[in-house]
Structure formats: C-alpha cells, structure tokens
Amino acid sequence: MVVPKAALYQTQTFYAKGKMKEVKQLVANLRGESLSSGKTETWNGKLLKIPPVSPSIIDCSIIRVEYSLMVYVDIPGAMDLFLNLPLVIGTIPLHPFGSRTSSVSSQYSINNWLGLTLPERPEAPPSYADIVTEEQRQNLMSSNACNNFELALQGPLFAYIQEFRYLPPPLYSEVDPNPDQPTEEHPSCPSR
C-alpha cells in the first residue's frame, strides 16, 4: 500500500553578521487514499487549504520567506518519490475588485495542468460602439454627465484608490513623447 501526500512548507531565512539561520515550518498538508499495487488515483477537487500567511519575501538582504509545495508518495521497501515545487504567495489579488470570483485553478482539472494545456482564451467583450448608440454617446457628453459622475463617486473613496495603490511610478523622460500635438477641447464641469 502506498499513500500519496502533499504539504506546503514555509522557509524563513535570516541573515545577520555573516551568519544565516533557517526555520522551516509545515503550513498545510493533505493526505490521499491508500493505494494498492498497480492502482492509480487522481486528486481532482481535493483542496489544500492555505491559512493566512505572510507573503513571499525574495528580494531582501536580511530575510527571505519562501514557500514550497512538496508532493510525495511513501513506498514501503523502496525509495520514496517526491516533487518539490516552489510557490510565491503575494498580497495583491490577481483580479481587481468586482472581477470573477473563482480562481483559474478551480476551473480546470489537474489533468489539464499536467498535460500543459492552457485554458481557452476568453471571448473578447463587445466594442463600445456595439453597445452605446450615437444618441446615448451625445447625451453622455452633456452637462448631466458631470452630475452622474459626482453621484457615482459617493461611495467610499478607498475602493477607487486600491486599484492604483501598487502601480509603479510613471516613466520619466526629458523628451516629450508627443510634441506639437493639438489638444481636444473637452467640456468641463462647473464648480459649485
């Protein structure tokens, strides 16, 4: 009988005065069903629950926090099989607020991943012109658009700021990338 297992480990490495100290901790684990000789098992739908942990730190000279997923099989009377996969755990969501709720990994089976097949590319959204008529576009250009915009921003401001918090600063250049281009006149909202 063999037993497949998976475990998530956190390794913290501290550097000071030319010395190094490493601490390895088990974060989460999962155990499969016992298998008799010649049998196979697929781990579709089995979740390895990851508790709240600190993010990976890989670019610091005094501390490193790394994660690895170890998948292994205990084989009695033989050398155990194992696969060690490095993981990066971050703090910024892959999808911004209001996007899809399920992860890509939950939508596709491990067979697709092991077969190195990529998920199908999602269908492109319709163009702006397909959805908004010319009349609607003209109405948006009117002064009512300013009032609607003010009403839309009456929610908590932090929800709008979050999407831009972690963006890198814009690139700086001494040369104007758009010299002598005419500027369009846009209607402005009068202040109250």
Kindly list the structural domains of the chain, giving each domain's residue range(s) and its CATH number in brackets, ordered by start: 3-92 (2.60.40.640), 128-161 (no CATH)
**pLDDT on residue 3:** 83
Of 8-17, 105-114, 137-146, which has the strongest mean pLDDT?
8-17
- pLDDT of res. 148: 54
Q: Which residue would you say has higher pLDDT here, 23 or 1? A: 23
**What confidence tens digit (pLDDT) does each residue in 115-128 have?**
445 556 677 777 77
Angle at the Cα of 17 from the Cα atoms of 13 and 19, rounded to 5 degrees: 45
DSSP for residue 2: B
Percentage of residues of the chain with pLDDT beyond 70: 57
What's the first-to-final CA gap in the chain, in angstroms? 78
* pTM score, whole prediction: 0.47
Q: Which of 131, 156, 134, 146 is nearest to 192 (CA)?
A: 146
